Amino acid sequence: MIERTRSRWARHMLSEVLLTVTAALGACCLLTALAATVLGLRFLVFQSGSMQPTIGTGALGVADRVEASKLRVGDVVGVRTPAGSHVTHRVVEVTQGARSATLLRMKGDANEVADPEPYSVTEADRVLFAIPGAGYVVSWLTSPAGTAALGLYAGWVTFMLLRGRTKRRPRRPGRHTSASGRRGRRQVQAIAAAVSTGVVFWAGPATAVPWGDAVTVHGTSLDAATVQAPTLSCGTLGVLSVSFHWTAVAGATGYQLTAGGETFPAQTSTSRTVTALIANGKASVRALRDFGSTTWTSAASNQRTYTVAVVSLCS
């Protein structure tokens, strides 16, 4: 009888700890949601390392929307590209554009050159700070697996709330607490814990723009040539990662992989591992040929669709 009572008390204490912890998380989520609504904050998930070492892959950036006239050189800013994607880089030059628009020249801290074209904006998301690793959590919670886990968790919270109403808590020797006080505390814990399953923020990923430039031709004749496109294939699948391989192209001096809307820095190897959490992303690669004053870029390779999660997929 004593062992059974101790076992019941241990299980009760475990559920109390879980409810208390998740109640605190729920309160934090609620306060964050209110702050975001009142202050107009936005959340950006960094899915690449273009801003390293300042902001690493998987960080969650907290930004506010400001008028372009308030932006200064050195600010980390998120803008929308003409193609409809997002890029979050550091402002290196600010000039006045046509009408009320402002032209922003931007560059990733890890990139050797600035983005090829300035961005014409009237307002932008200015990053206030970033939380390392938090973007992985947000991305997973918004994935199918995360949604299923939240649903199961909400069911468990509901069960614990109902169970607390119908089943008396085992009393630890030497402790006396009123039944109404215990039920009230458990209800508050369960409700606050349930809030953490409903307040999940999703932010658009920070993306980059492929490099390009103009070239002046001198001479009496011009020979035209094209760089052959490589062939992309799926490589090793891992937990929270997927690898890509592609064929080598004769004459190519580098390759540039685009995956999930992010164009990674050029590299000489013919493989790359992607670790940013993403569902149903598309990947392709281009071959580069450096001529010193300019770089030729091939057409995009074939596409591969992939998912990076606890169970990664690629086809």
> What would the pLDDT profile of 19-40 be if each residue is shown by its tens digit?
666 666 655 665 666 666 667 7
| Same-domain pairing of 164 and 239 | no
8 found inside a domain: yes
DSSP 11: H
| Same-domain pairing of 252 and 294 | yes
| Same-domain pairing of 11 and 66 | yes
219 found inside a domain: no
Question: pLDDT tens digits, residue range 93-108?
Answer: 998 876 678 899 999 9
Q: What is the pLDDT of residue 127?
A: 92
Q: For residue 138, give the CATH number of its domain.
A: 2.10.109.10
Determine the structural domain holding residue 266 and report its residue range: 226-314
Q: For residue 299, give the CATH number of its domain.
A: 2.60.40.10
Report the predicted TM-score, pTM, of the whole model to 2 decimal places. Answer: 0.47
For residue 270, which of 302, 295, 233 has the smallest C-alpha distance? Answer: 233
| Same-domain pairing of 199 and 71 | yes
**Number of domains within the chain:** 2
| Same-domain pairing of 19 and 107 | yes
Confidence of residue 206 (pLDDT cuts 50, 70, 90): very low
Question: pLDDT tens digits, residue range 135-183?
Answer: 787 777 666 776 677 667 667 666 766 665 555 544 554 454 455 555 5
| Same-domain pairing of 205 and 277 | no
Q: What is the largest CA-CA distance in the chain?
A: 101
| Same-domain pairing of 116 and 164 | yes
| Same-domain pairing of 51 and 163 | yes
